[in-house]
Amino acid sequence: MIKNMPQLFAPWFAFWVSPRTSYIFIHVLSSINELFRLGVFGFLSLNTEEVPGNAGLRDMIELLKWVQRNIRAFGGNPDNVTLMGQSAGAASVHLLSISKAAKGLFKQVIQLSGTAVPSFFTGSRAYSDNVNKMFFTELGIESTDPAAVYQQLLNTPLNQLIYASEKVQYNTGLCTFVPIIEDEITGVTRVLEDDPINLIGEGRGKDYPTLLSFTTDEAEVFRYLILVFNLVERAQQNPALGLPPRISFGVPAEEAATLAAALQQKYLNGTVTLDALISVLTNSLFNHAAFKFAEWRSLLGGAPLYFHQFSYKSEFSPLKYGLWIDYDGAAHAEDLTYILRVNSALQDYVSFPPKTKDDNMKEWMTNMIINFIRCSNPTCMADDVSPWPPVSKDNIRYQDSVGPAYKLTEMTPEQTDMVQFYDSIDAQIREMTEKLKK
């Protein structure tokens, strides 16, 4: 058995679904893909000892503790554990990196299309209470006593819980039950004890080497869901749907309406279309948060953060094939298809040795991930000679994977304008940035 292999721990995708398999396992690497509780089972909070919330994150922490105790028996190295996640998996990875409960359980992190900066989720108790109310109403639970609610939930058939959760998700959109800021409860170790923005601003997690990535057209992958959830018409009636839920549930309704109107005037020209809404959601839910986290990390110092944009246009896209959609650009999870093999779409196709441009891109993305796992650096070169240096206070540059070659890139005028606009409507983000610049 090969000993002391780097260890990859990988929670993936949304707070309610999780995929599998990988190209990177052909390399000398020990890997664990975790199954953790999702949806109502992973993130319902009754604010009690029995159901404090964040059960899904607690599952991850327990497995990381298991890794520390046992991974040597499988050839792994407990001192070289990398956390890697995509979308809500990336947000979970980032949340673990700022949690005291997970301290000392890993070495570095890889975040694809997700951060702990609340954008597609919010940890507010107000949002959680609103979702809980909708969920309990669907189940016919009228009690406001958490102990009584808990007993009724235990006695409710599984299929009814899932059906009620699906109905609530139709009303909320992308996410329903999500990580929450926990109150102090006797006998319970909190996973998330404050707003993630405050914890990041305190420097939590800044000592973990980080590979942070986003795609150019994140929300294109939700094109079909946007139609199913009728979000275009709903956003026309309620422009606040285009705001991150942290804002729409964190400020008074009048202020949310004013901010939403500014967003609509900036990007929607008074009329919501499918393409325009996709562009807004790409920035509101994903890319603004990515740029802000990169900027904050550069101001905080600490371990290096390597910033990456996936903009490669696939010759064959498993996402388009599997979801029966079409778009131009690189959608949410598009990069993941060059790291995880989509067996249902590729079937018996063998991509190594490379035969197509897509195959070469798989090699490129795989090597980027493997290099970071092995060297805490996506090139395994010294930063002063590398074609991909980490972000710095003077410049938030990123590696743009438009193809299988290095292309260090400055923020575009459109990206700069986007960041400045979202900063202008987000007081919490703006104040944290000003604080860190002092």
87 is catalytic: yes
User: Which of these is catalytic: 18, 248, 332, 334?
Assistant: 332
**pLDDT band with cut points at 50, 70 and 90 for residue 347:** low
Exactly one of 87, 165, 311, 317 is catalytic; name it: 87
pLDDT in tens, 130-183: 999 999 999 999 999 999 999 999 999 999 999 999 999 888 876 789 999 999
Q: Is the pLDDT of residue 20 over 50?
A: no
Peptide bond into 245 cis (omega under 30): no
**Residue 328 backbone phi and psi in degrees, to 5:** -115, 120
For each of the domains in the chain, give its residue range(s) and CATH number, in order of start.
5-437 (3.40.50.1820)
Identify the residue with better confidence: 78 or 19.
Answer: 78
Residue 19: predicted pLDDT:
45
Q: What is the pTM of this model?
A: 0.93
The span from the CA of 291 to the CA of 283, in Å, is 10
- Rama region for 395: left / alpha / beta (φ>0; ψ in -120 to 50; rest): beta
Place of tokens 């005291």: 100
pLDDT above 60 (res 27): no
pLDDT for 343? 66
Reported as type and span, the H/E element at residue 355 is none
Kindly list the distances between the CA atom of residue 289 and the CA atoms of 121, 206, 286, 413, in Å, as whole numbers in the listed order.
11, 16, 6, 17
In degrees rounded to 5, what are phi and psi of residue 130? -65, -45
Share of the chain above pLDDT 90, in %: 72
Local confidence band at 1 (pLDDT 50, 70, 90 cut-offs)? very low
Could you tell me the pLDDT band of residue 24, with boundaries at 50, 70 and 90?
low
Please compute, for residue 303, the number of CA atoms within 13 A of its CA located in the half-sphere on the CB side: 16
Asked if 260 and 242 touch (Cβ cutoff 8 Å), the reply is yes
Smallest Cα–Cα separation from 320: which of 330, 311, 310, 312?
330
Q: How confident is the model at residue 268 (pLDDT cuts 50, 70, 90)?
A: confident
Contacts of 65 (CB under 8 A, 6+ apart): 105
pLDDT at residue number 293: 98
Mean pLDDT of the chain: 90
Answer for the pair 9, 64: CB distance below 8 angstroms, yes or no. yes
Nearest partner of 246 among 198, 307, 294, 296, judged by Cα: 198
Q: What is the pLDDT of residue 75?
A: 83
Choice among 5-9, 117-121, 172-176 with the minimum mean pLDDT: 5-9
Please give the average per-residue pLDDT across 357-385, as a whole number: 93
Among 84-88, 240-244, 280-284, which is the least confidently predicted range?
240-244
Q: What string of DSSP letters covers 384-402? A: TT-SSPPPBTTB--EEEES
Q: What is the mean pLDDT of residues 70-94?
A: 91
Please, which residues have CB within 8 angstroms of residue 52's CB and are 6 or more apart in sequence?
Answer: 45, 46, 182, 185, 188, 190
Catalytically annotated residue among 31, 34, 92, 218: 218
363 a catalytic residue: no
pLDDT band at residue 16 under the 50/70/90 scheme: very low
Strand 408-409 and strand 398-401: the pairing is antiparallel
- Locate 416 and state its tokens: 């700069």
Q: Distance (Å, rounded) from C-alpha 330 to C-alpha 323? A: 14
Tell me the pLDDT band of 402, cut-offs 50, 70 and 90: very high
Q: How confident is the model at residue 392 (pLDDT cuts 50, 70, 90)?
A: very high
Q: Which helix (H) or strand (E) holds 41?
A: helix 39-43
Give the pLDDT confidence of 372-387 residue by residue, as tens digits. Answer: 999 999 999 998 899 9
Which of 32-41, 105-114, 163-172, 253-262 has the highest average model confidence (pLDDT)?
Answer: 105-114
pLDDT higher than threshold 60 for residue 22: no
Residue 321 in this model has a pLDDT that exceeds 70: yes
For residue 248, pLDDT beyond 50: yes
pLDDT given at position 164: 96
Lowest mean pLDDT, pick from 31-35, 123-127, 254-258, 408-412: 31-35
Is the pLDDT at 40 greater than 60, yes or no? yes
